[in-house]
Amino acid sequence: MTKLTIELDEGDGQDYTFLGWKEDGLAFYATSHKRRPVMVEPVSAYPDDRYTGEPYRFPRFIPQAISPKRFKFAWTSRHREVLGCWRAAKLAEVEAMTMEEIFPRDAVKGVFGMPRPVRTPAAVEGRRREEREKVERHYDMLAKTSLHDLFDSVLYPNALDEFRSGKWLGEMGDDFGSMLSQAVLFDAQWHMAHEAPSEYNNSQQMACDRDAVNFVMPGDDGEKYYLRRVVMRPPTDREAEAYAVLAEIWEEGHNVTQTENQPSKGAADEGPKVVGDSDNTHLAMLAEAQTMLSGGILLSGRHTLVEKMAPKERLLFNYLVTPNAQRSGWAISYREIGKRMGGVSAAEIQRRRKALEARHGREITRIIAEARFKHDKGVNPDQCGSGGKVKTQNRESKDDPSD
């Protein structure tokens, strides 16, 4: 399980346990510190799809936290001092310009043997005045425009180019660099979410979406997802059923992890083996659970095929028909299912499968056989139905994933 802190109000964070995303990518299942089921709906600050109008759907990452976040882009007194230094430096550069820099075309004419025009002192001064006026106009724009607006690359193209890198970025300080990075990151994520190329510009919409950000949700994928708001609500009846399945899978996985973490005899100095999130064990179980919840065999208590199953039978049934998330193209082995169900043997899982099929009839037997044929790379459904050990041409190792 993955712990996360959800802080809806500044300084008032509550601990939750993340279980998994809903299939639609609009909400995720969680458990409160009081062990109560909760549905968390993070409302994205990214726009709806520009072609379909569908809302933004979060990818299947694991949230690390949800905390308040507001973009605050504003000049500080330090920044304004740097702007003044920049203005003085640019004016000094104008005074130091050579004739070739003032009249670049004259230098080109000389290269091709064409006579250079004679430039009078008045002409030289006139050109320097033009350059000084450019510097003053640029400085006035920077000084009189809010930093929030200057980050709009459509309304103010190239306005901050000299402060994005090099000397002047260093002079502005880390706080300016952080604001610049946040603006650039949101710009890139906004275009990606909108499925629009970077040259597609709707600066007003993007600025509105950026101003609407109230929370940030970092994920285990290294990304930060910006949110307008966060809705916390109890699950519906259908969601409660899915929550129960996810919670049971996580609990089984936790028990297995605890067992695997026990040091072996004579290995006291080595310390416990760390198994879990770092080894993707929980991620694999989460993938399996999500496959169960989104597959053709729906884990609903109202489903006519599984409504009479006990919870343990339902869990076994779905392990049997679910592909192995850690090994593409294979079913989950009996040995692995046994680990997930409390550490029982593969033979015991085979026995329970036979009992499950005998108790619930041919349709359940057929579904299990077809599912394991589909995921076991060529196992005959008739052989699968027997629950026995089956080898195929694709299995050359002794560690048969179906056993």
pLDDT of residue 60: 83
Coil, helix or strand at residue 271: coil
pTM over 0.85: no
pLDDT in tens, the chain (403 residues): 688 999 998 888 999 999 888 888 899 999 998 888 999 999 999 877 767 778 888 888 899 999 999 988 899 999 999 999 999 999 999 999 888 888 887 776 666 667 777 788 898 899 999 999 999 999 999 999 999 888 887 788 889 999 998 899 999 999 999 999 888 888 888 877 766 554 455 677 788 888 899 999 999 888 899 999 999 999 887 788 778 777 766 665 555 444 444 544 444 333 333 333 333 444 444 444 544 444 333 333 334 566 677 777 877 887 888 777 566 667 888 888 888 777 889 999 999 999 998 888 888 888 888 878 766 655 444 444 444 444 443 433 344 444 4
Residue 86: its H or E element: helix 77-95
Give phi and psi for 121, each to the nearest 5: -55, -35
pLDDT of residue 282: 45
> CA 230 to CA 41: how far, in whole Å?
6
- What would the DSSP string read from start to end of 188-231? HHHHHHTT--TT---HHHHHHHHHT--EEEEBTTS-EEEEEEEE
Block residue for tokens 């802190």: 5
